[in-house]
Amino acid sequence: MNRTAYLSFACIILLLAGGLYYFFRAEPPLPRKAPASTQKTTSAGPTLTFAGSTVVEEKNGKKSWELNAESIEADTTGNLVYLKKLNGTFYQEKGGKVDIVAQEGILDTKTHDIMLQGDIKATSSDGAVFTAPKGKYVNQTKFFYGSGGIRLTRGDTIITGDSIDADTEMEKVKVHGNAKAVTGGKN
């Protein structure tokens, strides 16, 4: 055989070997992705989104509080849960409850504290109504904090101020900054 035939034969063998290697090599599996509607990527990483879900806190077999939201997003670290258009119920030790609504909330899964913002309105079972643009529920102390201009109405008494601290029973209430109380329409 002449030299050209050897080169042609060698090229054919190399092509066949390369083709066989390509088809029979082991490939790592492709990463699985959640459907676009359930996975969102943020600067902190991907999050999981649930529609129409509930988060519940129980202590000694009794509900402490429960939050329902139009959508709930949890970051993959599991530390923060973002709630949109939420409504919730905080159960009082004496049997009453406080119903709360807000546009947004962030639940810290370690402390179980809840940051709230956007048209917050809390209504206790005894009829007291509290409104604020921003708020926070601290699970350890069982206290609500409101800021940004608050209003608390109980019976014919209206209390306004810059911020408020209140227990879940709405019995211990402190108003800070520009506090004003009006009872029966009189200052």
Residue 10 lies in a domain: no
Residue 64 in tokens: 């402490």
20 in a domain, yes or no? Answer: no
Could you tell me if residue 66 is inside a domain? yes
Does the global pTM surpass 0.75?
no
DSSP percent split of the chain into helix, strand, coil, nearest 5: 10, 60, 30
Closest CA to 38 of 51, 25, 27: 51
The pLDDT score that the predictor gives to residue 50 is 59
Rounded to whole angstroms, the Cα distance separating 58 from 177 reads: 35
**pLDDT band at 18, cuts 50/70/90?**
low
* CATH at 112: 2.60.450.10
Measured CA to CA, the distance from residue 48 to residue 153 in angstroms comes to 38
**Structural domain of residue 124, as residue ranges?**
39-183
Q: What angle do CA 81, 112, 160 make, to 5 degrees?
A: 95
Residue 147 domain-assigned (yes or no): yes
pLDDT band with cut points at 50, 70 and 90 for residue 103:
very high
**What's the CA gap between 165 and 147, in Å, rounded?**
9
If pLDDT is split at 50, 70 and 90, which confidence band does 79 have?
confident
Report residue 156 as tokens.
């014919």
Residue 26 forms part of a structural domain = no
Give the number of domains in the chain. 1
Q: Is residue 77 part of a domain?
A: yes
6 part of a folded domain:
no
Of the candidates 89, 100, 97, the one whose C-alpha atom is nearest the C-alpha of residue 55 is: 89
